[in-house]
Amino acid sequence: MKQRGWFRGTMLALGLAFLYVPILSMIVFSFNNSRLVTVWDRDNSPTLRWYARLLENDQLLGAAWISIKVAAMTASGAVILGTLAGVVLTRFGPFRGRAFLSAMTTAPLVMPEIITGIAMLLLFVALEQAIGWPSGRGILTITIAHITFAMAYVTVIVQSRLAGFDDSLEEAALDLGAKPATVFFRITLPLIAPALISGWLLAFTLSWDDVVISQFVSGPGSSTLPMEIFSRVRRGVSPDINALATLMVLVVAVGVVLSTLYMRREEQRRLREERMAHNDGNP
């Protein structure tokens, strides 16, 4: 038994090394002075020159700003639509077209991005021909496309959160005469709030990260950050991309640590309150 534990630990360590060594190497070489990127310049490193150059790069910064805007709009839209879809699929019972809706919410999870991208672009082109909207392609079309695939993830998260609760609370409220809308906002929504937060963050990341779909549905002047990175990386490695990667890893790491701490505190508070409520009921 002990031997098996050793084997598991080794596999886990190797796997984690595989996941983290490339990221660590980017971080290390972001401080490298040499233009050759992967050849360490011992005399002049570490240096911050690539970070300084990054801050002067208006093209990348502009693209980053577009990406942030698109990702924030995507996340909000996806949470609203995904929550509706998740609630409809778990709480509304049978209705005509339910199976079709269910299929349409899981298909984007595995659909190769390139197919989604082409289909979206052809839709926008056909729409523009037919009704003149959306005129041209840009931030609006990117956001619509991102919402469509990101809402699928939110739907799954909301569905599994709702499946974890039985609907007795909601039914009790309905029996007591609350309107369905009141029940949704006062009971269902607070119950699934953690799922909405993680859904928002996931949708934001999916949008922030997407390059393939954006490439199809973007227009001139609306390059997102991944699109800018992609076109640079295709031309070869450049040291300021390492600096950019390091900054992004830093932001994500800080964000994840903070949100984990917050979630843990909330969970503990909830458990404490539940215990107190329980004690009140049984003196």
Partner 1 sequence: MRRSLLSTLKSWSQPRNLVIGVPYLWLLAFFAIPFVIVLKISFSWMQPIQPGYAPLLEWVEETRRLVVSFNFDNYQVLLRESLYVDTFLYSVKVAAVSTFWCLLIGYPMAYAIARSKPSTRNLLLMLIILPFWTSFLLRVYAWVGLLKTNGVINNTLLAMGLIDEPLTLLYTDFAVYVGIVYSYLPFMILPLYSNLEKHDLTLLEAAADLGARPFKAFFRVTLPLSMPGIVAGCLLVFIPAVGEFVMPSLLGRTDQLMIGTVLSAQFFGARNWPVAGAVAIVLLLVLLLPILLFQRYQRRELEAARR
Q: How many CB atoms lie within 10 A of CB 60?
A: 20
Among 71, 223, 226, 240, binds partner 1 (CB under 8 A): 226
Q: Which residue has the tokens 């596999």?
A: 11
225: exposed, middle or buried (Cβ count in 10 Å: 0-12, 13-18, 19+): buried
Helix axes 58-91, 49-56, angle to 10 degrees: 80
d(CA 103, CA 87): 15
What is the DSSP secondary-structure string of 159-216?
A: HHHHHHS-THHHHHHHHTT--HHHHIIIIIHHHHHHHHHHHHHHHHHHHHH--HHHHH
Q: Pattern 170-209, binding to partner 1, x per CB under 8 A?
A: ----------xx-----------------------x--xx
- Residues 234-273 binding partner 1 (CB under 8 A) are 234, 237, 241-242, 244-245, 248-249, 252-253, 255-256, 260
Among 44, 52, 92, 261, binds partner 1 (CB under 8 A): 92
CB of 18 to partner 1, least distance (A): 7
Among 94, 97, 220, 281, binds partner 1 (CB under 8 A): 97
For partner 1, give the closer residue by CB, 69 or 84: 84
Among 17, 20, 265, 268, binds partner 1 (CB under 8 A): 20
d(CA 241, CA 252): 16
Q: Contact between 84 and partner 1 (CB under 8 A)?
A: yes
CB of 191 to partner 1, least distance (A): 15
For partner 1, give the closer residue by CB, 78 or 283: 78
